[in-house]
Structure 1
Amino acid sequence: MTQAAHVKSQIRACTQCSDRFSKTASAHKPRPVVWFRPTARLLIAGQAPGARVHASGRPFTDPSGDRLRDWLGLDEQTFYDKDRVAIVPMAFCFPGYNERKADLPPPPICGKTWHHQVMAALGGVQLTILVGGYAQKFHMGAKGSVTQTVERWRDHAPAVFALPHPSWRNTGWLKKNPWFEAELLPALRARVNEVLND
């Protein structure tokens, strides 16, 4: 068994957050969503699966995924090609809802337990896309707001691009920051195309 296969099987069998999840408003069981192969050239590091992804077992099967694919300039077939695209959130399971039906943050224990092993198994990544503040803090030690990190995208390109979360909640943010669509997205799409089709 390869290192990647071993890590994937361990993550899929992980139940360390069972008690934590049973106490959430969603009272759900762990269902790790594992989506990577060691051949991947593009790494999408996000936050955590939502309720729809928990149900489907496939990352970004929601409106956020539609917007993210648009940002990247990728169709679904390419986006879900594990040989080329790895999707590794900060928590592999849906963290659950609080009493107001809002998503809980990813439990830090997940990243601490698995992420260094996953990164070691991904040997061919040429482009890393960090979606949201949790991934940006973990992978690049980002400090300050997501807006400040994303505004400095040129400091890390072409190897890393930091993005806001593609949630509908950030539609107002997109309107307030037109440079994101005018300047960052064209550069991002060109780099994604270069990496995946080289």
Structure 2
Amino acid sequence: MRQLLLDLLPETPPSLDNFVPGGNGETLAALTAWLAGGHGESSLLLWGEPGSGKSHLLLASGFCYRDARQDPDLAGLEELPENLAVDHVEALSAPGQIALFNAFNRIRAARGRLLTAAAQAPAHLALRDDLRTRLGYGLIYRLLPLSDAEKAAAIQHQAAERAMKFPREALDYLLRHAPRDMRALSALVVALDHYSLEQKRPITLPLLREVLASPLEN
């Protein structure tokens, strides 16, 4: 089977509109207002467990995005614009923490915006004290992961928009065996739609198993 899980889309870019809020409606509204300049604070931090949507929202912000897991030193941060998004701040190295501290001060002085994300609230992050204090100055919101029921409802809605018939047994199997984050699940729905049309077969549990078992080819 050809490159099924790599070629199924281009992935839909993250946006505020395609974020599935679940129990995070209030946080999404606050972030949307902050991005629009509706709050005077220069920084906002999102925290929560993996898969809760932090990276999605940082990418959706339109800010210059940096991921501390990929670049723990945050090289060249002083040259970036005053609207900055830094993901996984808990992964920052010592030089990266200094760089973010300096960027915080620069952005605040320039009346820019700093959006950050972490696995924990600022008070519990293993960062230098001055940076942890700075991150605690601004707005702080926790993102809650979607429940299985919320994921199922979102998948059914996406399937209905694509005029897909998604049997309940296939949906239950998808939630048990596929990646848990909503972006991956949404991508798999698109994959199933493409594969079903290509094969001229309805979506069934055997077809879903074929897609999930497909080896990745180079």
Q: Same fold by TM-score, threshold 0.5 exceeded?
A: no
Per the normalisation by structure 2, the TM-score is: 0.28
Per the normalisation by structure 1, the TM-score is: 0.30
Computing the radius of gyration over CA atoms, which structure comes out larger, 1 or 2?
Answer: 2
